[in-house]
Amino acid sequence: MATLHIVRRGLASFGFLIVAGIGTAGAQELRDWPCPQPLAEHAAPEAAWGGPLPAALPEGWRDDAAVRAVVAFAANPENPPSEGARAIAEFADDLGADRRERLMLVFAGLLQRFDTLRGFLIEGVRDFVLRARILRDAVAQHDAALAALPATGDLEVEEKRRGFEEARFWDARNLDDALEEAEFLCHRYAYLDEKLRRLANVVRSEL
């Protein structure tokens, strides 16, 4: 996946939603799936279509070069839904007697391509949640080590304190970053479903 460009904002509000009390003894567990949207490995065709399908989903959409091209363009994350909708409408303008079959091929192709993108996002969210768990535990260990040190001490004690504090600072910062990355992917996950529905609406209207 392309490198994610995120503005660092300290501890994101999302972090408060999925884990409370970082570094405290009563911290909640990070949820396996922190996104507000339910986890679904595959898009339900009827949900994306907005109701019962007019026909069974055809196979072999990749065998049709024109269908393959419009699906690739519309599903490309770099292209907004409006551009994908325009490409589908232009494709439909040239269709003849096979209009229904080929438009349903487009819809079948969109479902498969969006499921592939969905898989990337789900994997990314899970990776950042795992990273956040590891970092949260590291922060808790630093807190415990700091609490075990005497309030005042000799040079060796103060050097240990500075070492624990610095390590905690960087692990806490990386924890914040992991939570922000997960939040960003959750937004992309929601956007993916919305984009698929908008493109499916165009296919349906062109029928």
Mean pLDDT of 35-52: 93
Instruction: Provide the CB-side half-sphere exposure for 9 (13 A, CA).
Output: 12
Is residue 26 scored above 70 in pLDDT? no
Mean pLDDT of 42-65: 94
Task: With CA atoms as reference, report the closest residue to 196 among 98, 132, 112.
Answer: 112
Domain ranges of the chain: 55-206
pLDDT band at 153 (very low <50, low <70, confident <90, very high): confident
The pTM assigned to this predicted structure is 0.79
At residue 39, the pLDDT reads 93
At residue 32, the pLDDT reads 85
How many of the other CB atoms lie within 10 Å of CB of 17?
A: 13
* Backbone φ and ψ of 76, nearest 5°: -60, 125
At residue 94, the pLDDT reads 87
At residue 29, the pLDDT reads 60
> Which tens digits make up the pLDDT trace of 162-174?
999 999 999 999 9
Cβ pair 187, 15 in contact under 8 A: no
